Amino acid sequence: MLTEKAIKEFKEYLESGRWDEDYGYRTPDGQAEMLDMIESVFELCELADKILSEKLYKQMGEQG
């Protein structure tokens, strides 16, 4: 399971520009791996959005 700390650290890594710097030092295979990781993050966000939306709609329905 991911921790909130790990997520915050990765966000800071992206925001700081270190990801971009590391990307520049990687071989093409390493760069592809980094891009695949970012793609996985997008997929994770889409799934999290779906789950959060379902939970919020359910809570709204129970309150109304």
Domain borders along the chain are: 10-63
**Span 18-41, pLDDT tens digits:** 999 999 999 999 999 999 999 999
**Span 8-24, pLDDT tens digits:** 999 999 999 999 999 99
**Tokens representing residue 34 in the block:** 């980094």
Give 46-53 contacts, CB < 8 A, sequence gap 24+.
none
Q: What is the mean pLDDT of residues 1-7?
A: 94
**Smallest Cα–Cα separation from 35: which of 4, 50, 7, 14?**
14
Residue-level pLDDT at 58: 85
Is the model's pLDDT at 49 over the cut of 80?
yes
Cα–Cα distances in angstroms (integers) from residue 62 to residues 11, 48, 51, 56, 58, in the given order: 34, 21, 17, 10, 6
Residue-level pLDDT at 64: 63
What is the reported pTM? 0.76
